C-alpha cells in the first residue's frame, strides 16, 4: 500500500502528469462524490459513477463544458458500476443491476440501442473494459466463488468507433 501511494505521489510530480481542471458541474451539486472514472479515447467525454437518490448511477459529461449528456436506457436499471467508453464515446459499457442479477450492457448513443450481454452458466460481471474501437469487451466474472477474465469479440455486433480522422478500410479496398 505504501508503495502504491509513493508511486501515485511520484506521478503527480512529473511535468507531463499535469492535472486538468475539474469539469464544471452543469447543474449537478458541486460537491458531488464521483468514482470509477472513465475517459473516452479522445479525452472529450468523462463517465463516472455518482450517488443519486441513494442509487449509484452513471453520469456522462463533456469535459470542456461540463454539459451532462443523456443516457436513455440506463436509468431503469440501477445501480451502475464500472463504466467504460469507446474512442469517441459512441459506446458506453457498464454493469447494471436488474433484480438480483448483475448484467453487462452497452448503450449505443448514436442509434439509441441498448445491448445486454447474456452470460452463460451463472456468471456475474464484476468489472469491465471496452476496447477503444468498440470491438472487444474484457469482463471480470465471478461464478461459484471463482474469478476469471474473459474477452468477448463484438466485431459482428457493434460498428467500429475509430479515432477522428481515421478512414475505415474494408478488406476488399486493402487489396490491390
Whether pLDDT at 176 is above 60 = no
* Residues 12-65 pLDDT 10s: 454 545 555 555 544 445 557 889 999 999 999 999 999 887 888 999 999 999
Q: Is pTM, for the whole model, over 0.75? A: yes
Q: Cis peptide before 79, with omega less than 30 degrees from 0?
A: yes
∠ CA 80-84-90, nearest 5°, is 110
Strands 101-108 and 91-98: antiparallel
* More confident: 151 or 169: 151
pLDDT band at 10 (very low <50, low <70, confident <90, very high): very low
* Residues 79-90 pLDDT 10s: 889 999 999 999
- Which sequence spans correspond to the domains of the chain? 32-164
Task: Please tell me the predicted confidence (pLDDT) of residue 9.
Answer: 39
Domain 32-164 is in which class? mainly beta
Give the number of other Cβ atoms within 10 Å of residue 40's Cβ. Answer: 23
Q: Cis peptide before 51, with omega less than 30 degrees from 0?
A: no
Amino acid at each position: 500500500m505504501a508503495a502504491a501511494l509513493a508511486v501515485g505521489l511520484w506521478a503527480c510530480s512529473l511535468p507531463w502528469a499535469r492535472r486538468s481542471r475539474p469539469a464544471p458541474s452543469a447543474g449537478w451539486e458541486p460537491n458531488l462524490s464521483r468514482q470509477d472514472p472513465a475517459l473516452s479515447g479522445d479525452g472529450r467525454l468523462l463517465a463516472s459513477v455518482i450517488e443519486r437518490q441513494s442509487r449509484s448511477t452513471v453520469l456522462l459529461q463533456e469535459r470542456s463544458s461540463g454539459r451532462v449528456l443523456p443516457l436513455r436506457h440506463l436509468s431503469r436499471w440501477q445501480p451502475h458500476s464500472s463504466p467504460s467508453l469507446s474512442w469517441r464515446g459512441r459506446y458506453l459499457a457498464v454493469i447494471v443491476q436488474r433484480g438480483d442479477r448483475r448484467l453487462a450492457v452497452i448503450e449505443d448513443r448514436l442509434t439509441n440501442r441498448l445491448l445486454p450481454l447474456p452470460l452463460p452458466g451463472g456468471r456475474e460481471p464484476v468489472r469491465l473494459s471496452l476496447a477503444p474501437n468498440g470491438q472487444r469487451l474484457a469482463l471480470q466474472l465471478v461464478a461459484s466463488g471463482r474469478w476469471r477474465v474473459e474477452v468477448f469479440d463484438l466485431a459482428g455486433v457493434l460498428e467500429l468507433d475509430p479515432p477522428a480522422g481515421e478512414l475505415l478500410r474494408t478488406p476488399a479496398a486493402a487489396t490491390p
